[in-house]
Structure 1
């Protein structure tokens, strides 16, 4: 199992986010807040869409989540989301989408707590 999908070994690597932010802690905090606020809504939308076999919505929402996973440094989860998006859009290998998405969702849920700690550290540096 890739490291960023292993709940016992989740590493948050904000190098990419820091580069985009130019070291601006307030911008990084804003991006973390957006991830923590929006991602649960997106995951609920995908779960509903998978249950309804609404593959267009699965692809559209997966597309929205993908860059935020990159910002948070969980590249394997981002790649898995890209695969989910592609399969949903082409309606191929649909039988594995729910299981793959469950893994990404579990990573996101672990990220929330870790990101709250990172955010607190960033706020302390302001």
Structure 2
């Protein structure tokens, strides 16, 4: 089964420094779960401004770890400015949550 993440960009950024890679992974594991939860809560509470902020904040970390959700994150950002109902974004949010949780679980298994 394939990993939910890629270290290609992390390795480029770190220059192969294993300690730096570990710090990046730890930072990801500390910051992303609460951001993911916050984005989900914001969508459920129909708070598009907060959903946008969490989506926007998560984007660089997801890209750094090769988690291919840019299209979906942009959809959350667009939803937050569109005035559409939360039902319009819930399936996309579910996909984001499932994908990010897989990456989190894989990173925890590989680095802890």
TM tier relative to shorter chain = 0.7 to 0.9
Q: For the aligned residues, what is the CA RMSD? A: 2.0
- Compare 9-18 and 59-68 and name the one that shifted more: 9-18
Aligned counterpart, 2:26 = 33
Query: Paired residue for 2:110, among 99, 110, 118?
Result: 118
1:99 deviates by 1.3
1:52 correspondence with 2:23:
no
List structure 1 segments (4+ residues) > 4 angstroms apart after TM superposition. Answer: 8-11
Query: 1:81 aligned to 2:111?
Result: no
- Asked if structure 2 preserves the Cα contact closer than 8 Å seen for 1:17 and 1:28, the reply is yes
Per-residue displacement from partner, 1:67-108 (whole Å, max 9, x unpaired)? 111111112x23211221122134347533121011111111
TM-score between the two structures when normalised by the length of structure 1: 0.76
Structure 2: any 5+ residue segments left out of the alignment?
none
Aligned length: 112
Structure 1, gaps ≥5 residues long: 1-7, 121-126
Moved more, 85-94 or 51-60: 85-94
Q: Normalization by structure 2: what TM-score?
A: 0.84
